[in-house]
Amino acid sequence: DAKTTQPPSMDCAEGRAANLPCNHSTISGNEYVYWYRQIHSQGPQYIIHGLKNNETNEMASLIITEDRKSSTLILPHATLRDTAVYYCIVYRGGSNYKLTFGKGTLLTVNP
């Protein structure tokens, strides 16, 4: 699976949109982009995933560039409870369905 690069930390004001970038320049055509978050040592929580089209669900939106080399997770109205480590993962699937979690981005939402 391709590797990802994320900034180690970001800040966001409460009520504003949080835009979390991820670079995955070596992604291949059959690899998905997944986003998870982990709130202070709780179990990671699935947020959203996509292949090449933009995706939206009740939690967030995922924007994938046309060349698929980068993506942005958007939390439209960040709250204090969105403070967490956000992981961007490129995943193809395979024999053990293993997701490889990197270091992620610590998003701090400030009041």
Q: Which residues bind other proteins (CB under 8 A)?
A: 32, 34, 36, 41-46, 49, 89, 91, 93, 96-99, 101-103
Which residue lies nearer to other proteins by CB, 31 or 82?
31
Which residue lies nearer to other proteins by CB, 16 or 98?
98
Spatial CA neighbour of 66 closest among 57, 74, 54: 54
The alpha carbons of the chain give a radius of gyration, in whole angstroms, of 13
The nearest distance, CB 89 to other proteins, in angstroms, is 8
The nearest distance, CB 14 to other proteins, in angstroms, is 26
E strand or H helix at 23, and its extent?
Answer: strand 18-23
Which residue lies nearer to other proteins by CB, 12 or 89?
89
- Sequence letter at residue 38: Q
Q: How far is CA 94 from the centre of its chain?
A: 21
